[in-house]
């Protein structure tokens, strides 16, 4: 435990939904839900306006629609979220060499390691300046927690939400934690929480009073020991700058179970290409290809194949995944498919062309000459494989024009898709930082309407090349005064 609150935890507020509200002036102050929109879709993030109505992350989208029927339901735009995340992480990196990202919108920072803080006053100033800088650069708000440990810093940022800063003074940890629910502590999920409740322990104070021996008896040695230390506010985990990824993977859940083997194979090959795109974006390669198949009865199968050496060749990964599919029985239907690569490395196999040729030869040998495994002929887009219903115009439109995604019209400029149906796509033409735009409807095949890349959320962001010295120290700039407090 540190004697000063020099560990900072940043958590962007309702990140995906807030980014959509900033990008779309017509959605400011309104309920926004980002996630999968199909029958099996799940909420990724809900704006605070939607949370008031009971919508939350990981909720089925169908349930969210019942709770908030008038909310805007949008498909995620990860290209935008990643670009904003890079801006935020660059700011954090200028504060300290020790930045531990947990996700696109969350990270720990060791302020002491970067000389950005050495006591409560300097930590608070740095936290305030960070919030000001984030809003100036991205237009979004983030909540900051400051404490002497990672556990307490994360608890503080949660208390600071939305758009606030909470600092926990070292020495006050036990007093702060005592009345909190046991679920507040890391690693205490619904099952463990219910087990402790049945033993008469509902607060952190109850855990501390029970003692280490009793907790070990209830939840086991490893978990009991850690749980007791956390109940006392003890956490000596360091901020780790490099969190090496162990795998890269992508997966899709389908609105309707897939039955046709040709379609299943096509989806596996598409996922393999997407997986390699992520692999290359991370400047990595991998040695083992993994296929994940969840069948109609929710049973999940995984198959893997280890290659001769690491690769980032899409042909190699695609054909390895296809070979793995040959050993999986998809009778009855498939509801989810995933392709991943593990055994990551920073280099690739030298002779990629030879490896790809070997993989193709093996694939041909393993593939049975069944007629239905032939790919659809070119020019048959939307007709679907044999034995499977062709995609309707509505399905094609939803696939090409996802709700919330960016478009450009030759005459009207930049806009975003509000929805599509009956052969039409409805677009609102507006840009970040501008006025609420007008809505127009077009045919789904209008040649003047094309998909587009997201626009920056802030048109002229502050130059933060000399951050943090050049930015206001405290009390100025948007968002610098909201939610600042110390705990206890």
List beta partners, residue 424: 421, 443
- Counted residue by residue, the chain has a size of 488
Exposure string of 317-331, with b = 16+ CB inside 10 Å and e = fewer, is bbbbbbbbbeebebe
Distance CA 442, CA 429 (A): 12
Going by C-beta distance under 8 Å and a sequence separation of 6 or more, which residues neighbour residue 5? 117, 120, 123, 146, 147, 148, 153, 167, 168, 169, 170
What pLDDT is recorded for position 395?
Answer: 59
Whole-Å CA distances, 103 to 11, 12, 172: 9, 10, 29
Q: Virtual CA dihedral for 216, 222, 223, 226, nearest 10 degrees? A: 100
What is the C-alpha end-to-end distance of the chain, expressed in Å? Answer: 17
Strand partners of residue 451: 407
Looking up tokens 């951050």 gives 467
C-beta neighbour count of 58 within 10 angstroms: 8
The pLDDT of residue 116 is 92
Task: Tell me the CA distances in angstroms from 168 to 108, 156, 238, one per residue in order.
Answer: 15, 7, 18
Position 298 scores a pLDDT of 83
The whole-number pLDDT of residue 355 equals: 45
> How far is Cα 304 from Cα 323, in angstroms, rounded to an integer?
10
Residue-wise pLDDT tens digits, 226-246: 999 999 999 999 999 876 678
pTM of the model: 0.75
DSSP per residue over 190-221, as a string?
HHHHHHHHHTT--BHHHHHHH-HHHHHHHH-H
Return the HEC string of 366-424: HCCCCHHHCCCCCCCCCCCCCCCCCCCHHHHHHHHCCCCCEEEECCCEEEEEEEEECCE
CA distances from 395 to 101, 190, 266, 382 (A): 37, 38, 17, 9
CB 5 within 8 A of CB 110: no
Task: Specify the pLDDT at position 460.
Answer: 80
CA distance 9 to 6: 10
Other beta carbons less than 10 A from residue 16's beta carbon: 27
Report the distance separating Cα 62 and Cα 46, nearest Å: 14
- Please state, in angstroms and rounded to a whole number, the distance separating the CA atoms of residues 430 and 194: 49
| The predicted structure's pLDDT at residue 393 | 55
* Side-by-side strand order, sheet with 43-46: 43-46, 32-35, 72-74
| Catalytic sites, residue numbers | 106
CA dist., res. 433 & res. 150, Å (int) = 36
DSSP state at residue 42: B
Question: With b meaning 16 or more CB within 10 Å and e meaning fewer, what string describes 264-296?
Answer: bbbbbbebbeebbeebeeeebbbbbbbbbbbbe
pLDDT tens string, the chain, 488 residues long: the values are 788 999 999 999 999 999 999 999 999 999 999 998 888 888 999 999 999 999 999 899 999 999 999 999 999 999 999 999 999 999 999 999 999 998 899 999 999 999 999 999 999 999 999 999 999 999 999 999 999 999 999 999 999 999 999 999 998 989 999 999 999 998 888 888 899 999 999 999 999 999 999 999 998 887 899 999 999 999 999 999 876 678 899 998 888 889 999 999 999 999 999 999 988 888 888 999 999 999 988 888 999 999 988 898 999 999 999 999 998 999 889 999 999 999 888 765 444 444 444 445 444 544 444 333 333 333 333 334 444 455 555 556 667 889 999 999 999 999 999 988 888 999 999 999 999 999 999 998 899 999 999 999 998 877 777 777 654 444 433 333 344 455 44
pLDDT of residue 348: 52
How many CB atoms are closer than 10 A to CB 19?
28
* DSSP state for residue 35 in the 8-state scheme: E
On whether the CB atoms of residues 270 and 288 are closer than 8 A, the answer is no
| Chain centroid, CA 193 distance in Å | 26
DSSP SS3 for 93? helix
Question: 304 with 321: CB under 8 angstroms?
Answer: no
- pLDDT of res. 413: 96
d(CA 110, CA 33): 33
Question: Six-digit token pair at 314?
Answer: 């899409």
Instruction: Specify the DSSP element, H or E, that contains 300.
Output: strand 300-311
Predicted pLDDT at 379? 33
């Amino acid at each position: 435990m540190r004697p000063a609150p020099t560990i900072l935890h940043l958590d962007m507020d309702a990140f995906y939904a807030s980014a959509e509200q900033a990008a779309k002036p017509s959605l400011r102050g309104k309920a926004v839900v980002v996630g999968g929109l199909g029958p099996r879709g799940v909420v990724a993030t809900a704006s605070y306006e939607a949370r008031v109505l009971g919508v939350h992350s990981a909720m089925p989208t169908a349930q969210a629609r019942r709770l908030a029927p008038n909310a805007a339901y949008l498909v995620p735009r990860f290209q935008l979220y990643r670009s904003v995340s890079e801006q935020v992480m660059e700011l954090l990196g200028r504060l300290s060499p020790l930045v531990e990202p947990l996700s696109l919108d969350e990270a720990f920072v060791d302020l002491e390691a970067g000389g950005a803080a050495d006591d409560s006053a300097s930590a608070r100033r740095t936290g305030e300046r960070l919030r000001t800088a984030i809003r100036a650069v991205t237009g979004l708000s983030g909540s900051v927690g400051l404490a002497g440990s990672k556990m307490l810093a994360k608890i503080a940022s949660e208390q600071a939400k939305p758009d606030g800063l909470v600092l926990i003074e070292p020495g006050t940890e036990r007093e702060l934690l005592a009345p909190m629910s046991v679920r507040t502590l890391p690693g205490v999920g619904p099952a463990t929480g219910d087990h402790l409740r049945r033993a008469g322990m509902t607060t952190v104070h109850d855990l501390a009073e029970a003692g280490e021996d009793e907790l070990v008896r209830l939840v086991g040695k490893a978990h009991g020991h850690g749980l007791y230390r956390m109940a006392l506010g003890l956490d000596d985990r360091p901020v780790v700058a490099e969190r090496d990824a162990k795998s890269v993977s992508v997966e899709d859940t389908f609105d309707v179970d897939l039955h046709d083997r040709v379609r299943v194979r096509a989806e596996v090959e598409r996922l393999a290409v997407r997986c390699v795109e992520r692999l290359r974006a991370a400047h990595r390669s991998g040695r083992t290809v993994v296929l994940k198949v969840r069948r109609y009865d929710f049973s999940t199968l995984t198959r893997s194949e280890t290659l001769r050496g690491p690769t980032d060749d899409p042909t190699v990964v695609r054909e390895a995944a296809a070979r793995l599919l040959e050993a999986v029985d998809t009778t009855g239907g498939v509801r989810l498919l995933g392709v991943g690569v593990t055994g990551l490395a920073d280099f690739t196999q030298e002779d990629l062309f030879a490896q790809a040729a070997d993989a193709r030869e093996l694939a041909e040998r393993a593939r049975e000459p069944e007629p239905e495994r032939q790919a659809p002929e070119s020019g048959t887009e939307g007709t679907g494989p044999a034995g499977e219903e062709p995609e309707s115009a509505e399905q094609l439109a939803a696939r090409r024009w996802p709700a919330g995604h960016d478009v450009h019209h030759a005459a009207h400029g930049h806009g975003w898709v509000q929805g599509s149906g009956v052969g039409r796509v409805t677009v609102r033409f507006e840009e970040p930082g501008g006025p609420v735009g007008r809505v127009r409807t077009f045919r789904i095949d209008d040649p003047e309407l094309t998909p587009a890349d997201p626009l920056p959320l802030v048109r002229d962001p502050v130059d933060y090349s000399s951050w943090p010295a050049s930015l206001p120290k405290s009390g100025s700039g948007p968002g610098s005064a909201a939610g600042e407090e110390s705990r206890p």
